[in-house]
Structure 1
Amino acid sequence: MSAGLFSHAVELRTIASPALWSITVAALVLLLALDLLLTRRPREESVRAAAGWSVFYLLLPVLFGFYLWADHGGGVAVEFFTGFVVEKSLSVDNLFVFMLLLAAFAVPSALARQVLLYGIVGALVLRAIFIGLGAAALQSGTWAFLLFGGILILTAGKIVKDVMAGEQQEVDISSMRTVRLVRRFVPVTEGYRGSRLVVREKGRMALTPLALAAVAILATDIVFAVDSVPAVYGVTEDPFLVFATNAFALLGLRALYFVLQGVLAKLRHLNHGLAVILAFIGVKLILHWAHGVWPGVPEIPTPLSLGVIVCVLATVTATSLLANRRERRRAPRQPLEEAERHV
């Protein structure tokens, strides 16, 4: 296979003017500042307040999508909505890992809001970096489509392997390299010190467990960015839309965490669905590359991608609910069956 199959540069076009970029970033900073103001004082998040904020953060991308439809056409709006659904579904899985991390660090419920905000801000920064790297890779050659597609298919394969092996997601703090590295160079207090990340103890500066929790979440953000950015580049090649879908998907995570906290563990088939979605987008990227080399190779249109993704998410949600219902029905019978065996 000649080098020309991989070296052809991709011309990235964006719908965003400098003014639209500026307004979007300014709005993002304003919303983050508001979130930071709300989490300044440690307190437990009420489910009712979290539900209200979740609705607010879900309405924002809907309104933004309608604006794109009116100003830039239905094609752009469909790309945005498809990318948002992909990123939001991946972010729900991220929330489950955040939940495990908060439990592993025994983070007090009053401080959970603050740690989650650190994770969201870190994720936004890392996604912006990865989006820029992804755009540079696409501009350097079509090989980036193969790379992104390969990453997504390998990730899907790993998820399927873990599911088939029956492995449960766990967090072992002692095995996290970032946490071990921090503890090696900086002393850590035995307990939490309110919302403080750094304190002076015995004449020297020391980190609190809250700081370690924030570091652990930032480390997992890097892994999430490796999966999510190629996934959304499989939907749209517009860097602005890639950034916007990531930003809208991440903004409401803090509130959504408290709404779904009791539901996340019940979505037992979510990983099955994410594996299908990532593999599907990976194939879509590879077909997109092949179409550029051999025009006879078909491409997967974005509206079809949106339909497949929504159907997959609806299916795994329904199967999870059915599995949970069957488990509840069987639970009362088990003690009775055990008693009958001993009669």
Structure 2
Amino acid sequence: MPSEATRAVSELSTIGSPTLWAITVAGLALLLIMDFLLTRRPHEVRMREAVAWSIFYLALPIAFGLYVWLSFGSGVAVEFFTGYVVEKSLSVDNLFVFMLLLSAFAVPAAYVQRVLLYGIVGALVLRGIFIALGAAVLQSGTWAFLLFGAILILTAGKVFKEALGGQQHQVDISGMRTVRLLRRLMPVTNDYRGAHLVVRENGRRALTPLALAMVAVFVTDIVFAVDSVPAVYGVTEDPFLVFATNAFALLGLRALYFVLQGALAKLRHLNHGLAIILAFIGVKLVLHWAHGIWPQTPEIPTPVSLGVIIGVLATVTITSVRANRRDGARSSASPDEQPERSHP
């Protein structure tokens, strides 16, 4: 990590003491090691197991948020919870892309959690790099808030346009440059070879489709980091809180994937909500930048941001459920599905 970025992280962090950073990173490493040990024996994850782990990974940020509240005050705790909600809502959309990738690669159910785990580790590394770079940019001047705000507003416009056009996430494996490059550099086996990423075939090392799937997930992590890190910096300027919200949101992704696997496709209005949230945070950042130049410019308080974000997510969830029910009622009332009436 660049030294300037490292210094920027330490200078911008208000609660992230070296001790707290060390404890947090050590706890994160311990959880990842535990996950690796649990996935050593590949198996298909049942709903009961996924729900139990989801509850565990939901309890962790709640406990951490309470610690922050007691140690640093309600204001910092609200920033953490707001950032966590933002990251979690964005990660749900990321899960849908992961689901399409795993389906496109036809990953066996027993190895899905292994792919997700490697993807989460890659995402954590990338987020750490982006967070440090973001802190360095913020340290250079208030113009960074305008830059981050513009990125989020442009992203929101793209997401909203796709949502209005009814465009769904699509995955074209053949169009991924990284996958094409790997196929040129090394041969790829036609079938999966257990949990192996590289095998020896005909005297040469060859990649397995599992390795390609992991690389594809890692590449998509880069795209997700570009949106998520500026979004959280729109809630808090503290790099430690930004890292903590990203870490807690990512840790529970693997279990949440299996819980929401059947429900993800039914959240048809999720992208509409995410576009509104990204645009809202983008405007918040622009106002924050303007306030530094013109003090009379109003700013959006973090508690208001939390209320807006939760309200948007609740609204799109309700509208998605109602739209699904309405379509289900129309489908059941379709003439093609009605039984033929007997005529006298």
TM-score grouping bracket, smaller chain normalisation = over 0.9
Aligned to 1:132: 132
2-structure distance, mates of 1:233, 1:54: 26
- Answering whether residue 285 of structure 2 is matched by residue 285 of structure 1, we say yes
2-structure distance, mates of 1:13, 1:110: 41
1-structure distance, mates of 2:132, 2:212: 28
1-structure distance, mates of 2:165, 2:55: 37
The one-character-per-residue Cα deviations of 1:92-111 (angstroms, maximum 9, x if unpaired) are 00000000000000000000
2-structure distance, mates of 1:71, 1:338: 63
2-structure distance, mates of 1:337, 1:245: 48
Aligned to 1:152: 152
Give the alignment of 1:1-343 within 5 angstroms. Answer: 12-336=12-336
The one-character-per-residue Cα deviations of 1:305-331 (angstroms, maximum 9, x if unpaired) are 000000000000000000011111111
TM-score normalised per structure 1: 0.95
Letter matched to residue 127 of structure 1: R
Deviates more, 1:281-290 or 1:143-152: 143-152
Cα deviation, residue 41, structure 1:
1.2
Cα deviation, residue 337, structure 1:
8.0
| Contact 2:84–2:248 (8 Å) recurs in 1 | yes
| Contact 2:134–2:230 (8 Å) recurs in 1 | yes
Cα deviation, residue 338, structure 1:
8.7
2-structure distance, mates of 1:263, 1:338: 28
Cα deviation, residue 336, structure 1:
4.2
**How many residues get paired?**
333
Cα deviation, residue 127, structure 1:
0.3
1-structure distance, mates of 2:151, 2:193: 41
RMSD over aligned Cα atoms = 1.6
2-structure distance, mates of 1:130, 1:211: 25
The one-character-per-residue Cα deviations of 1:51-106 (angstroms, maximum 9, x if unpaired) are 00000000000010000000000000000000000000000000000000000000
Letter matched to residue 211 of structure 1: A
2-structure distance, mates of 1:144, 1:218: 27
2-structure distance, mates of 1:13, 1:159: 31
Residue ranges of structure 1 left out of the alignment (5+ in a row): 1-8
| Contact 2:13–2:240 (8 Å) recurs in 1 | no
TM-score normalised per structure 2: 0.94
2-structure distance, mates of 1:12, 1:29: 24
Over the matched positions of the two proteins, sequence identity in percent amounts to: 75
